[in-house]
Amino acid sequence: MKAKTILDGLLLVSLFYAIAIPARAQTGSSQQTLNQYVADLQSNPNDTALRGKIIALMLTMDPLPEVPAEARRHMARGVAAVEDAKTSNDFRDACNEFQQAATLAPWLANAYRNLAIAQDKAGLYDEALASLRLYLLTKPSPTDAGWAEDLKSKVEYRKEKAARPKYESNAQPVVPQENSFEALLRKIDGRRYSWDYAQPRGGVDRRYINVKGNVFIMGILSWGRSDDNGDYPQKQLEITGRETTERWTSKDFPQWSGYAVYTISDDGERITKSYHYQSGATKQEVFNRER
């Protein structure tokens, strides 16, 4: 975004004021004190209290102290950085330029104004609030003071929003969802499902599917032999998803070649086995949870 859109022309105006301050030499003890303060600030640019003393001293001086050419240069560079900014890092580059201007001329109101704007755009909210406080110390016009107070409120809001947990909003909490298939598999581990098959010549075969880990163990209960659990296991099939496919080929009866899909219900209470034969025939068996 261009600087005019982002800053509503504020930086360009402030650059004009930075250059337009008359280059008149200040005489007397005020200038000497100012020079000493500025020299002290060079060794400790983060001394906010000293910046406040410099601003307070500037307000008593007439004429105003001269703005060094190097400070004006950094102001212009800061404007250029904002004009070209596309990312928060670009705005941080602008911050660096305005910060240098505010250290070379720590009484310069618009250096703090521009700095606050760039820091806000860079997401440096605490720093932006500190710059706004220094700007207000320069006694701007009522209109500019009102602008600064408005920006202060906006920065405070953005700071609070950035500090909130990601799920804290009017929307439902954003909670990482566990893999649904893995959760379902754990839920049905150890369960038995059965289906009673009525023989054409009479009698009933109870067919079962046991779930053990990620494996279906399948068999028929009514056939003679059994294991220690009373089951007669015939085969095993690895569970590959909520739908698991089993394929087979019949050399003697090719029409009966095909596949079956085992579908676990969403609630884990049944497993449906759907047959699909090469002949086009289909059938379905529903195994309900037994235990």
pLDDT tens per residue, range 144-188: 999 999 999 999 999 999 988 765 555 555 555 556 888 999 999
What's the CATH class of domain 181-289? mainly beta
Q: Which of 28-42, 107-121, 159-173, 191-205 has the lowest mean pLDDT?
A: 159-173
Topology of the domain comprising 3-163: 1.25.40
Q: What percent of the chain has pLDDT over 70?
A: 81
- pLDDT for residue 2: 46
Q: Mind listing the pLDDT tens digit for each residue in 268-277?
A: 999 999 999 9
Helix (H) or strand (E) holding 5: helix 3-7
- The answer on pLDDT for 77 being more than 90 is yes
Q: Is the pLDDT score of 25 beyond 60?
A: no
Does pTM top 0.85 for this prediction?
no
pLDDT at 24 over 60: no
Average pLDDT, the chain: 84
CA-to-CA distance for 25 and 261, rounded, in angstroms?
A: 91
pLDDT of residue 166: 65
Q: Where are the domains of the chain?
A: 3-163, 181-289
Cis peptide before 68 (omega within 30 of 0): no
The alpha helices in 59-197, defined as continuous H runs, are 69-84, 88-104, 109-121, 125-137, 142-163, 180-188
pLDDT at 83 over 80: yes
286 neighbors 196 (Cβ within 8 angstroms) = no
